[in-house]
Amino acid sequence: MVIINESRCVGCAHCVPFCQMSAITALGFAKIDLDLCTNCKLCLNYCPKNAIAEG
Amino acid sequence: MYNVAIIGAGIGGLLAGASLAKQGKKVIIIEKMPYLGGRFTNLPYKGFQLSTGAVHLIPHGNRGPLAQFLQRLGLSVKIEDCKPWCTFRIRGKDYLINDVSDFNPIINLFPLIDRLRMAKILFEVKLLGLPSNEITLEEWLKNQVKDELAVKIANAFYGFALSLHINSIPAGEGILILKRVNDCKGSGVPIGGCKSIIDSLVKFIELQGGKILTKAKVVGVDIDNENITKLHVESDQISEVSANFVISDIGAKETVELVGEKYFDKNYLQKVESISPSAGVKINIASKKSFFKNGILFTPDCQRIGGLIELTTIDPSLAPQGQNLIISHQPLLSTDIKKEIEIGLEDLKSLIPSFDQDCEILLIQSYHNGWPVNRAASGLDIGSVTPLKNLFLVGDSVKEPGWIDTEGVASGVEQILEYLSKIFY
Ligand SMILES: Cc1cc2nc3c(=O)[nH]c(=O)nc-3n(C[C@H](O)[C@H](O)[C@H](O)COP(=O)(O)OP(=O)(O)OC[C@H]3O[C@@H](n4cnc5c(N)ncnc54)[C@H](O)[C@@H]3O)c2cc1C
Ligand code: SF4
Ligand code: SF4
């Protein structure tokens, strides 16, 4: 499972386009819809703040 | 052994790398992300070319330090001028500014007494120089012009351009920025978006024999006698790099953290601590309808949004055919980001009454806390030279006075290259 570290996330939304499942939305902070997320972990590479981690 | 190792492939690192490679230096650029360009490259989404940061604007068009820098390298990046430069929407009416040196359409909105005062200010600035940096632009402006429209107009302009409220801009710096705008005569859009600039820099560096690594994070350094002797790198390709000189594009605070505080004197640490970044929110909107045809629209009547631009009026390739891309920008004025975004959306709905029917919000992007709009708010930049003998800074914490955003980054890189050329042999 991937989780967003809310104290690191700035809401820049870089991760959003890289999720093929459209599981991430960003409104000040990123949120992952776990029903859509396939746990591919691609988004981890695209966060400049290192705010997405494996939970 | 490299002549120069550059940490970070943002626009600052790439400009420095390209110039040094052109001089025949053996250069390596180390970037932690899978892509190059940092906060100044495209972010493709739903067929639109959004960006990792920038609004795809070259603040001073073909005449500013960034375009001049690229020209000196011999790179042919097409920058299209915003024509007209901008429009101010004041009390629902649009005032076009065709010529940057002619603000009369707006000045005429002020009572005679304020118009006389403005003429006096202009004269004084020309004759006596810039106002002091000891007072804020807001204090200075309120002392001069009484109509509160002046504060609103200034906040729209500086909110869009610098992502700052005028109560946090030093007066001298604020006026110098305006002077630069006036000298350079308007903004431009790089055709294809910011990435076109990044791509041409990357190609150039590689052609000159420079090496660029992605997915390679510098995680520490070795130091001997106030010199960095080795960079430790986390990557699949290499684990350490040695170079005569190290240039860091990751920000002053981040550089101190990476190297270790104990290697810097108290004075320098205090200076780094005093840098405050600028924070902001960018809203990317798609629409089949076109709403804003006249360059950058500054919006003094809005609560938060300083301005917006319909980029597809200049470069239609930034959106799928038949669609328009509008990007608004606002400074982040409180820590309640959701609230700030909500206010931004209210502003948009007041600017586009049919927003709900005609517009789709593509992406809302906020920038603060270590990934800001500018690492040093204007006027608060730190110099390139550090207490370590072979470590230098580039990027948006070392902009030259009066130059904003990537114009500031380019002018800062220019300065450090000049300095390095004197000590390089
Ligand atoms: C919303 C917004 C709108 C903007 N609009 C504009 C605009 O329209 N026009 C304009 O000119 N400017 C604009 N700016 C400002 C502009 O984007 C920045 O000034 C500029 O991109 C900063 O470049 P930089 O090289 O200093 O830093 P960055 O782009 O942040 O580059 C630093 C690089 O270092 C990398 N890095 C960090 N740590 C490490 C490490 N340990 N090891 C290896 N690599 C590392 C990062 O991944 C990054 O790629 C805007 C900014 C934002 C956020
Ligand atoms: S792990 Fe994959 S599917 Fe899940 S949010 Fe990240 S990119 Fe999307
Ligand atoms: S890329 Fe990282 S910081 Fe940006 S919104 Fe996604 S999780 Fe947050």
Overall fold of domain B2-79+192-276+375-424: FAD/NAD(P)-binding domain (3.50.50)
pTM of the entire predicted model? 0.97
Would an 8 Å CB–CB cutoff place B369 in contact with chain A? Answer: yes
B395 lines ligand 1 (CB under 6 A): yes
* Confidence band for B20, pLDDT divided at 50, 70 and 90: very high
> How much is the ipTM here?
0.96
Mean pLDDT of B402-413: 96
* Confidence band for B380, pLDDT divided at 50, 70 and 90: confident
Bond into B170 cis (ω within 30): no
* Confidence band for B98, pLDDT divided at 50, 70 and 90: confident
* Host H or E run for residue B6: strand B2-7
B403 lines ligand 1 (CB under 6 A): no
- Tokens of residue B187, six digits: 């903004």
Percent of chain A with pLDDT over 90: 95
pLDDT in tens, B144-201: 999 999 999 999 999 999 999 999 999 999 999 999 999 999 999 999 999 999 999 9
pLDDT for A53: 93
Q: How far apart are the CA of B45 and the nearest CA of chain A, in angstroms?
A: 5
Q: Is residue B385 classed as helix, strand or coil in its secondary structure?
A: strand
What is the CA(A3)–ligand 2 centre distance, in A?
Answer: 10
Q: Is residue A32 classed as helix, strand or coil in its secondary structure?
A: strand
B93-102, B261-270, B334-343, range with the lowest pLDDT: B93-102
pLDDT for B425: 57
Tell me the C-alpha distance between B127 and B130, whole Å.
Answer: 9
Instruction: Note whether A14 contacts B52, CB cutoff 8 Å.
Output: yes
Instruction: Note whether B371 contacts A12, CB cutoff 8 Å.
Output: yes
pLDDT in tens, A5-29: 999 999 999 999 999 999 999 999 9
Q: Which residue has the higher pLDDT, A4 or B421?
A: A4
Which residues of chain A are within 8 Å of residue B369 when distances are taken between CB atoms? Answer: 10
**For A9-29, what is the HEC assignment?**
CCCCCCHHHHCCCCCEEECCC
Q: Which residue has the higher pLDDT, B325 or B379?
A: B325
CATH placement of domain A2-54: 3.30.70.20
Q: In sequence order, which residues have a C-beta less than 8 Å from that of residue B76 and are 6 or more positions away?
A: B200
Overall fold of domain B102-184: Polyamine Oxidase; Chain A, domain 2 (3.90.660)
Percent of chain B with pLDDT over 70: 100
* Confidence band for B27, pLDDT divided at 50, 70 and 90: very high
Mean pLDDT of B270-281: 94
Tell me the C-alpha distance between B263 and B223, whole Å.
Answer: 9
Tell me the C-alpha distance between B146 and B236, whole Å.
Answer: 62
| Residue B99 pLDDT greater than 90, yes or no | no
Tell me the C-alpha distance between B217 and B246, whole Å.
Answer: 15
| Residue B69 pLDDT greater than 80, yes or no | yes
Q: Which of B43, B45, B338 sits opposite A28 (nearest CB)?
A: B338
pLDDT in tens, B235-254: 999 999 999 999 999 999 99
- Tokens of residue B23, six digits: 């001089």
pLDDT for B101: 77
pLDDT for B103: 87
Would an 8 Å CB–CB cutoff place B330 in contact with chain A? Answer: no
Would an 8 Å CB–CB cutoff place A42 in contact with chain B? Answer: no
Would an 8 Å CB–CB cutoff place B47 in contact with chain A? Answer: no
Tell me the C-alpha distance between B230 and B158, whole Å.
Answer: 41
pLDDT in tens, B333-346: 999 999 999 999 99
Tell me the C-alpha distance between B328 and B311, whole Å.
Answer: 10
Domain boundaries B277-367, CATH class? alpha beta
- Tokens of residue B162, six digits: 């610098």
Query: Do B2-79+192-276+375-424 and B277-367 come out as alike in CATH topology?
Result: no
Which residues of chain B are within 8 Å of residue A4 when distances are taken between CB atoms? Answer: none
